[in-house]
Amino acid sequence: MAKQKRRSDCPISTALDIFGDKWTLLIIRDLMFKGKQHYVEFLQSEEKIATNILADRLHILEQHGIISKSIDPAHGSRYLYHLSVKGVDLLPMLVEMILWSARYDPATAADAEFIAAARQDLAGLLKTIKLGLKEKIAV
């Protein structure tokens, strides 16, 4: 991977350089919460990502070790995309984004049961989700 020029040593800036655009976070969302694994499944998301942007963001995520891809054993010409441990570690941040949206956007599509579970026992919810995601990590 070509070294990206760092704007600063600020940890927030560094994180934003990797996954700080809408499309990258939506791909991570789809892998993390919606069970999507195939290129075509990402294209079917309601946000309608363009094919060139999807290919670019998947490549960037793979290069940074956030996701991995493997050949789909059922269809040798297709790839399966998986979160890596590094990608799974983004879970608390995404859950906090969901909670923030549920608090400040009355029209959000956040699942009411998910929000209630997070508000009641955030640590327990994160642990449960993380265990499920780690089971899906490609080895």
User: What's the confidence (pLDDT) of residue 9?
Assistant: 87
Tens of each residue's pLDDT in the chain, 139 residues:
455 676 788 999 999 999 889 999 999 999 999 999 999 999 999 999 999 999 999 999 999 999 999 999 998 889 999 999 999 999 999 999 999 999 999 899 999 999 999 999 999 999 999 999 998 885 5
User: What's the confidence (pLDDT) of residue 135?
Assistant: 87
Output the pTM of the full model.
Answer: 0.89
Torsion of CA 41, 46, 47, 52, to 10 degrees: 30
pLDDT tens digits for range 111-128: 999 999 999 999 999 999
User: What's the confidence (pLDDT) of residue 128?
Assistant: 96
Domain 12-135 adopts which CATH fold? Arc Repressor Mutant, subunit A (1.10.10)
Domain extents in the chain: 12-135
CA distance linking residue 94 with residue 44, whole number of Å = 21
Radius of gyration of the chain (CA): 16
